[in-house]
A and B are shown apart, each in its own frame.
Chain A
Amino acid sequence: AQSVTQLDSQVPVFEEAPVELRCNYSSSVSVYLFWYVQYPNQGLQLLLKYLSGSTLVKSINGFEAEFNKSQTSFHLRKPSVHISDTAEYFCAVSFSSNTGKLIFGQGTTLQVKP
């Protein structure tokens, strides 16, 4: 079955430290990849996406993710986190075009400590 796995349910990290949130998926077909973020008491927001082209994609607030087809991964990284990055992060995958059906991972809570 097609699935998305986020290996860490919680990631505590100190402010200004680097962070990596891991995401792996299972699929034998082409995929489209997304990271969504949910700040406290807010709805899900798209952070970044990979549809085609360069395998390294970046967000406006310093996050980046790299699509690795051979390892079926799409890990999210940031070299220096801020307190305001504290949120729930969801990796999502779409396995076919034109359906809108995203499969989400279980989520990773990023806790940035001062």
Chain B
Amino acid sequence: GAGVSQSPRYKVAKRGQDVALRCDPISGHVSLFWYQQALGQGPEFLTYFQNEAQLDKSGLPSDRFFAERPEGSVSTLKIQRTQQEDSAVYLCASSLARGALNTGELFFGEGSRLTVL
């Protein structure tokens, strides 16, 4: 597709369940980012991939959060044993070159809204 595609758009999970969120970036985009956006807040950085390499995972809130991009294109964010505080919109973004600053522009998906009951 022409833009960043995320699925599912909405996910309701019971506390303790595992969830997987998928991101399909723009074709050819080297860099891929995950952000978490809580209600009424700005997006917060989770992790960054350059091709298949995860270069920065400093924003992942706990070891329950895991992200991968095995072939340098599609990425999956996995949350194990979900808790209520994990409820948020998870945003994926991609950019053509390494690092956001080479172009200064990230292309965002519409996000996956996770609700943990």
- Could you list which residues of chain A lie within 8 angstroms of chain B, going by C-beta atoms? 4, 6, 9, 32, 34, 36, 41-46, 49, 51, 90, 92, 94, 97-107
Question: Separation in Å of the A80 CB from the closest CB of chain B?
Answer: 26
| B2-33 near A? 1/0 per residue, CB < 8 Å | 01100000000000000000000000000101
Grouping DSSP codes into helix (H, G, I), strand (E, B) and loop, the A interface class, with mixed when no group exceeds half, is loop
| B89-103 near A? 1/0 per residue, CB < 8 Å | 001010100111110
- Could you list which residues of chain B lie within 8 angstroms of chain A, going by C-beta atoms? 3-4, 31, 33, 35, 40-45, 48, 55-56, 59, 91, 93, 95, 98-102, 104-106, 108-111
Measured CA separation A32–B102 after assembly (Å):
11
Query: Is A100 a contact partner of B42 (Cβ separation < 8 A)?
Result: no
Query: Is B41 a contact partner of A106 (Cβ separation < 8 A)?
Result: yes
Q: Which of B35, B41, B95, B98 contacts A107 (CB 8 A)?
A: B41
Query: Is B42 a contact partner of A46 (Cβ separation < 8 A)?
Result: no
Given A101-B48, A105-B42, CB of A94 within 8 Å of CB of B106: no
Given A90-B42, A99-B48, A102-B45, CB of A42 within 8 Å of CB of B110: yes
Query: Is B104 a contact partner of A49 (Cβ separation < 8 A)?
Result: yes
Query: Is B48 a contact partner of A104 (Cβ separation < 8 A)?
Result: no
Q: In the complex, what residues of B have CB within 8 A of residue A90's CB?
A: 42-43
Q: In the complex, what residues of A have CB within 8 A of residue B104's CB?
A: 32, 34, 46, 49, 51
Q: In the complex, what residues of A have CB within 8 A of residue B106's CB?
A: 44, 46, 100, 102
Query: Is B48 a contact partner of A100 (Cβ separation < 8 A)?
Result: yes
Q: Which of A9, A98, A99, A104 contacts B43 (CB 8 A)?
A: A104
Measured CA separation A105–B101 after assembly (Å):
18
Can you pick out 11 interface pairs between chain A and chain B where the beta carbons lie within 8 Å of each other?
A41-B110, A46-B104, A46-B105, A90-B42, A90-B43, A97-B99, A99-B56, A99-B99, A100-B101, A102-B100, A104-B43
